[in-house]
Amino acid sequence: MSHRIVRRPIDPEAARRFPDLHPVLGRIYAARQVATPMELETSLQGLHPPELLGGLPAALDLLEEALREQWNILVIGDFDADGATSTALCMRGLRLLGANHLDYLVPNRFEYGYGLTPEIVAVAAGRKPDLILTVDNGVSSIDGVAAAKALGIHVLVTDHHLPGAQLPAADALVNPNLPGDPFPSKSLAGVGVAFYVLLALRTRLRERDWFTRQKLTEPNLAQLLDLVALGTVADVVPLDRNNRILVQQGLARIRAGQCVPGIRALIEVGGRTPARLVAGDLGFVVGPRLNAAGRLVDMAHGIECLLTDDPAEALRMARELDDLNRERREIEADMQIQAQATLERLSLDEDRLPMGLCLYDPDWHQGVIGILASRIKDQVHRPVIVFAAAGEGDIKGSARSVPGVHIRDVLDAVAARHPGMIRKFGGHAMAAGLRIRRENINAFRRAFDDCILKAHPHVVFQPQLVLDADLPFDRISDQLTDELERLQPYGQQNPEPLFCATGIRVAFSKTLGERHRRMALIQPGSKTGKKIPAMHFNIDPSMPQPDYFERIAYRLRWNYYNGNKSLQLIVEETE
């Protein structure tokens, strides 16, 4: 599917706020709602203060009592990378703060499903916890919290998912997305919420003279930011300024070698260099290897990798996770072949793909349906739900959406119009999970498509490349490239800038492998006449490669190779 190239809208007045900057930078800052260059600073002093987070007083009272009385604390996480990093962060952080009776439990997705269910509470009860602390889940666990409370277990829920109409009757509930919560950033990942709770708890304990009385060294919780960065990027939450600070500070620690052995080992097996790690490496190299445990076996394997302080043990576990990730890719490749056949049949039978696409195969792997949904969504650029068998007549779906379609709201609309059709659901604007009865799949397909059509009747679902600015080659400079790096880390809602140049000639070309092309590009008529190295990834090997482009869309980066640093273009689209 070809891309529709559009220009990122900006307020001209906002662009004029930066008279001393390169005009391209002014446009980029304005488009990202940067009011002053100071907003690009990523020091920890720029974080929103913890006391703005609603629900903290009750949570701190509970945790302070748990530490004072040395309760048995059981951390219950989720089986994705955000849940794994949240769990590891709380295990490490609470130990630093003085917890001596601490354990964790992560539901196996194939046996218990997501969240604090009554079934997982029954398992948890065998460990005799005084307090259950949920991370990256719990806001929709009405029955699970009730089951824990009925057993006399205190419950503290920390979560970031959107709440439903009813909240669980927990002893304390911390979630920036609760109605009326004053915390300015609604984009914290689960690991970000957990980190904020620990920050606030440290302040409370300091005020109570806890560290002196317990003869403990007050910890620097910044040592946990490597886990926060990994979970935040892997969960693909929007990188607003607050999240950018958390991620950038975590990356700085990783680059300096100040990270847990598990992250260092995952970087090594992924073939990356810690000193030059970027946010994209966390999302596309480290995160998938960690996630592979939760997708195929049990996320406890990934959590243990993040908890060990033994580098050799961490490397051994990281290699096991790497093997699991290879297995996951093989399973996914088979599923993609089957999904493509289904897409072709749908296109032929209906003369168009549904606006909301649902795919199901009883043999598909539960742990891989989220990745497959994301791949198909990128291909057809519309909301996609992929279902797999979940046992006892149920099928479980993983949904992925595109900008402009809030997938959880769509599922909410389906549930309201067709009571009982969805057994349970939850999620975000861009991703969600649900469970329905197998016999309802065709009715659900129609309802899902209908709700999207009604809510978005005029949307043309076509992938877009959003240009930030025209940037002829003679306006490219080392200084501009350095300034662009200040926008990092890139991610959701803070994309890497995309530029356009016209009339480009290929002065040199070499195919790498079958699908990549290395080039030297020149723009005739430019003042400098400079040749700029470029890479074009994932080209169609069956198509002839031209030596002239009317227009290219590209990203501007530094390339580090053999100790040298040079400018390089990453070509995204050509005409």
pLDDT tens digit sequence for 153-196:
999 999 999 898 899 999 999 999 999 999 999 999 999 999 99
Three-state SS annotation for 376-402: HHHHHCCCEEEEEEEECCEEEEEEECC
Ramachandran sector of residue 407 (left: φ over 0; alpha: ψ -120 to 50; beta: rest): alpha
Mean pLDDT of the chain: 90
Contact between 27 and 484 (Cβ < 8 Å): no
Q: Is residue 114 part of a domain?
A: yes
Asked whether residue 406 falls in the same domain as residue 309, the answer is: no
Q: Are residues 401 and 305 in the same domain?
A: no
Measured between alpha carbons, how far is residue 367 from residues 130, 231, 241 in Å? Answer: 32, 18, 32
Check which CATH number belongs to the domain holding 475 and give it. 2.40.50.460
Among 299, 320, 341, the domain-final residue is 320
Taking a C-beta distance cutoff of 8 angstroms, is the pair 515, 537 a contact? Answer: yes
Q: Read off the pLDDT of each residue in 476-497 and give the average, rounded to a whole number.
A: 86
Span 487-544, pLDDT tens digits: 888 887 788 999 999 999 999 999 888 789 999 999 987 777 788 999 999 888 888 8
Question: How many CA within 13 A on the CB side of residue 113?
Answer: 24
CA distances from 406 to 181, 207, 245, 379, 452 (A): 21, 42, 26, 19, 10
* Whether residue 144 has pLDDT greater than 60: yes
Q: Do 59 and 182 have their domain in common? A: yes
Asked if residue 320 has pLDDT above 60, the reply is yes
Residue 40 belongs to some domain of the structure: no
Mean pLDDT of 447-451: 93
Amino acid at 160: H
Confidence of residue 351 (pLDDT cuts 50, 70, 90): low
Residue 3 has pLDDT above 70, yes or no: no
Quick one: tokens of 175? 């979630």
Average pLDDT (11-29) is 75
Band (348; pLDDT cuts 50, 70, 90): low
Examine residue 565 and state whether it is found in any structural domain, yes or no.
yes
3-state DSSP call for residue 264?
helix
- Give the tokens for residue 16: 């004029």
Same domain for 88 and 180, yes or no, is yes
State mean pLDDT over 25-46: 80
Q: Of 26-30, 140-144, 361-365, 514-518, which range is least confident?
A: 26-30
366-392 mean pLDDT: 91
- Arithmetic mean of pLDDT, 41-59: 93
Whether 33 maps to a domain, the answer reads no
**By three-state DSSP, how is residue 329 classified?**
helix
- 343 domain-assigned: no
296 and 154 belong to one structural domain: yes
Question: Is residue 364 located within the same domain as residue 441?
Answer: yes
Instruction: Tell me, yes or no, whether 67 and 204 share the same domain.
Output: yes
The residue-averaged pLDDT of 551-574 equals 89
Instruction: Say whether both 175 and 285 belong to one domain.
Output: yes
Q: Give the pLDDT score at 457.
A: 75
Domain harbouring 154, CATH code:
3.90.1640.30
Average pLDDT over residues 537-560: 89
Mean pLDDT of 337-361: 81
CA 126 to chain centre: 33
- Determine the average pLDDT of the residues in 80-92: 96
pLDDT at 416 over 90: yes
What distance in Å separates the CA atoms of residue 166 and residue 146, rounded to the nearest whole number?
Answer: 13
* Mean predicted confidence (pLDDT) in 135-152: 95
pLDDT at 88 over 80: yes
Across 103-112, 280-289, 409-418, least confident range: 103-112
For residue 349, what pLDDT is reported? 56
Structure tokens, 119: 């079934």
Q: Are 101 and 199 found together in one domain?
A: yes
Domain edge (last residue) among 433, 455, 477:
455
How far apart are alpha carbons 275 and 272 in whole angstroms? 9
Question: Which of 335, 425, 319 has the alpha carbon at shortest distance from 371?
Answer: 335
- Inside any domain, residue 364: yes
Predicted pLDDT at 548: 93
More confident residue, 541 or 356: 356
**Are 250 and 360 members of one domain?**
no
* pLDDT tens digits for range 219-274: 999 999 999 999 999 998 888 899 999 999 999 999 999 999 999 999 999 999 99
- Give the pLDDT of residue 162: 87
Res. 149: pLDDT tops 70:
yes
Q: Is residue 337 part of a domain?
A: no
Number of domains in the chain: 3
Residues 6 or more apart in contact with residue 198 via CB below 8 angstroms: 89, 90, 93, 94, 97, 221, 224
Domain extent, residue 483, equals 4-8+465-574
Give the β-pairing of 499-512 and 548-561: antiparallel
Q: In what order do the strands lie in the sheet with 384-391?
A: 357-360, 384-391, 394-400, 431-437, 422-427
Domain closes at, from 432, 455, 478: 455
Q: What is the mean pLDDT of residues 8-31?
A: 75
- Is 332 part of any domain? no
Same domain as 207, residue 163: yes
The CATH number of the domain holding residue 411 is 3.10.310.30
**Using 50, 70 and 90 to split pLDDT, how confident is the model at 347?**
low
Q: What is residue 282's predicted lDDT score, i.e. its pLDDT?
A: 95
pLDDT confidence of residue 460: 64
- For residue 1, pLDDT over 70 is answered with no
How far from chain centre, in Å, is Cα 369? 16
- Please compute the mean of the pLDDT values over residues 343-354 and round it to a whole number: 70
Place of tokens 């296109």: 347
Contacts of 572 (CB under 8 A, 6+ apart): 465, 498, 553, 554, 555
The model's pTM is 0.87
pLDDT at 458 over 90: no
Asked if pLDDT for residue 15 goes beyond 90, the answer is no
What is the percentage of the chain residues whose pLDDT exceeds 70? 97
pLDDT for 289-313, tens place per residue? 999 998 888 899 999 999 999 999 9
Q: Are residues 418 and 549 in the same domain?
A: no
pLDDT at res. 561: 79
Read off the pLDDT band of 2 (50, 70, 90).
low
For 185-232, how does the pLDDT look when each residue is reduced to its tens digit (9 = 90+)? 999 999 999 999 999 999 999 999 999 999 999 999 999 999 999 999
